[in-house]
């Protein structure tokens, strides 16, 4: 494998390894992707101010974000279904952020639960909340976040209506994933991954209606491509009662 030197290197590598439907879900945006391009341009427009004739022997980019000290003004933003791209992806991302002294924000549409992710690190995590029509679900998630010692809650306010994602429609990806039949007798699959030429055997049970359908409880999921297995178990219990943690 060639040396990884940029984020684009990681993106290219992921495109080769991750099933097309899942890669497109992370890499793409809604409709004509105008907002996606604008966001990328906004980041590209940020430049570092060069300073000359200063002491560079003790460089320090640490700061505070929302009252918490961090090693750099960068955090890991919430990304839905991270655990489908890599087993226990949210837990690993939270651990990586903590290792480098910054913060991780967990998505409402995560695969690992807030209790699992909070329990995988020593410091409090952040949590992003979608307010669905079911206000009881939102209150339940807030209670669970509090019990998991989440330090900051991010409320998404610009998603009154879910945008159409053209790539997801073409790939057959639905959120949350639905079970369908598969060539192997009795093996349920997620249709998006099946259509992207990867085999995806998973055990799903839908418990309550949430985002335009149901919140899935993924008990165990195993993905493998024709080249061989590449999977790990993960679970989400969005509609399960809040699990209180001790102090």
Q: How would you write the pLDDT of the chain (247 residues) with one tens digit per residue?
A: 789 999 999 999 999 999 999 899 889 999 999 999 999 999 999 998 888 999 989 889 999 999 999 999 999 999 988 988 888 999 999 999 999 999 999 999 999 999 999 999 999 999 999 988 899 999 999 999 999 999 999 999 888 888 899 999 998 887 666 655 544 555 444 444 443 333 233 333 223 323 333 333 333 333 333 343 333 333 333 333 333 344 3
| pLDDT, averaged across the chain | 77
| pLDDT score of 151 | 97
The pLDDT of residue 173 is 83
For residue 178, the model assigns a pLDDT of 65
DSSP H/E element including 172: none
Long-range interactions of 99-102: CB distance < 8 A, separation 24+: 100/71, 100/72, 101/62, 101/70, 101/71, 101/72, 102/70, 102/71, 102/72, 102/74, 102/75, 102/76
Whether this model's pTM surpasses 0.85: no
């Amino acid at each position: 494998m060639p040396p990884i030197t940029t984020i684009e290197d990681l993106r290219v590598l992921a495109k080769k390894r991750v099933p097309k439907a899942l890669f497109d879900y992370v890499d793409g945006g809604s409709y004509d992707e105008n907002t996606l391009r604008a966001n990328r341009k906004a980041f590209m427009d940020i430049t570092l101010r060069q300073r000359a004739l200063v002491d560079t022997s003790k460089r320090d980019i640490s700061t505070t974000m929302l009252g918490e000290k961090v090693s750099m003004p960068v955090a890991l933003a919430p990304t839905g279904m991270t655990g489908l791209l890599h087993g226990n992806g949210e837990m690993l991302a939270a651990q990586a952020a903590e290792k480098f002294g910054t913060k991780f924000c967990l998505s409402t549409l995560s695969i690992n639960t807030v209790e699992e992710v909070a329990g995988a690190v020593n410091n409090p995590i952040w949590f992003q909340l979608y307010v669905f029509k079911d206000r009881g679900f939102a209150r339940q998630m807030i209670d669970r976040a509090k019990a998991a010692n989440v330090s900051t809650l991010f409320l998404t306010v610009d998603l009154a209506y879910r945008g159409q994602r053209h790539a997801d429609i073409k790939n057959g990806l639905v959120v949350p994933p639905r079970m369908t039949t598969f060539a192997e007798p009795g093996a349920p699959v997620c249709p998006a991954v099946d259509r992207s030429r990867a085999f995806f055997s998973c055990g799903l049970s839908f418990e309550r209606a949430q985002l335009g359908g149901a919140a899935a409880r993924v008990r165990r999921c195993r993905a493998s491509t024709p080249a061989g297995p590449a999977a790990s178990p993960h679970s989400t219990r969005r509609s399960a009662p809040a699990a209180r943690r001790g102090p």
